[in-house]
């Protein structure tokens, strides 16, 4: 039953975010913030697929214990793509609120992302092990959490300053994603049921993508879909 439920959920999730991303790239691609949002959504779905597809296959066949290496490598890839997800989201913020010249801030974002990816690459993570070390899971998520907090603060401030009703919940979606993700990192090995929190965490990311998609539709409807470049002015 778990395998069927997770597989159906994962298919809906992956197909939804990737489809929305492709639509944003195709229809809103002439507007940079929507192009970035579309790439971000496709990156999210494609990256998560590396973990979710082998997980579903394992649950529907002989069990997770027989696919430890594949699942571990999938987690590694997903960890990297999620880092790119937040870098792209930062650039969505830059484009939406026209924050040119923030070189120090951009350098900080890139530095946090680079440190995160570097930590992910260390062999001490033991990605293909049945029981990878918790200490390294915590360590590699420190710069990731810092990156997420930074993006949350940027969106929250800009939404308030600009009265941006369309993006008013963007910060909340990121807060929720981390709120559901942290217990899984800390307790999934000792308290297996915490893994169910990945479902609301995933829904928070769908909400993030939907905010951008909905805003693109409103923008194009207001400017005329035949000439999306007008919406950028």
Q: What is the pLDDT of residues 49-65, one digit of tens each?
A: 999 999 999 989 988 88
How far apart are alpha carbons 209 and 48 in whole angstroms? Answer: 14
> How much is the pLDDT for 226?
43
Domains and CATH numbers, the chain: 2-227 (1.20.1070.10)
Residue 64 near residue 123, CB atoms below 8 Å: no
Using alpha carbons, select from 12, 19, 9, 17 the residue that is nearest to residue 82: 17
Whether residue 100 is predicted with pLDDT greater than 80 in this model: the reply is no
How far apart are alpha carbons 60 and 47 in whole angstroms? Answer: 21
pLDDT, tens only, 147-202: 999 999 999 999 999 999 999 999 999 999 999 999 988 887 778 778 888 999 99
> How much is the pLDDT for 233?
36
Both structure tokens of 15: 């197909």
Tell me the pTM: 0.91
Residue 166 near residue 211, CB atoms below 8 Å: yes
pLDDT band at 102 (very low <50, low <70, confident <90, very high): confident
């Amino acid at each position: 039953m778990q395998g069927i439920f997770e597989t159906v959920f994962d298919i809906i999730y992956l197909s939804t975010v990737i489809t929305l991303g492709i639509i944003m790239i195709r229809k809103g691609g002439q507007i940079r913030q929507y192009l970035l949002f579309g790439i971000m959504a496709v990156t999210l779905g494609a990256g998560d697929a590396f973990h979710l597809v082998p997980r579903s296959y394992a649950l529907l066949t002989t069990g997770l214990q027989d696919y430890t290496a594949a699942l571990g490598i999938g987690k590694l890839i997903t960890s990297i793509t999620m880092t790119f997800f937040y870098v792209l989201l930062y650039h969505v913020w830059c484009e939406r609120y026209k924050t040119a010249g923030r070189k120090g801030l951009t350098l900080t974002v890139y530095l946090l992302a680079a440190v995160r990816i570097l930590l992910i690459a260390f062999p001490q993570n033991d990605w293909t092990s049945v029981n990878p070390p918790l200490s390294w899971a915590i360590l590699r998520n420190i710069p990731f959490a810092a990156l997420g907090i930074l993006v949350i603060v940027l969106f929250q401030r800009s939404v308030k300053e600009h009265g941006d009703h369309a993006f008013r919940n963007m910060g909340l979606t990121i807060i929720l994603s981390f709120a559901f993700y942290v217990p899984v990192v800390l307790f999934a090995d000792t308290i297996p049921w915490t893994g169910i929190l990945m479902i609301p965490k995933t829904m928070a990311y769908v909400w993030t993508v939907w905010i951008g998609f909905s805003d693109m539709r409103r923008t194009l409807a207001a400017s005329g879909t035949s000439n999306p470049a007008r919406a950028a002015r």
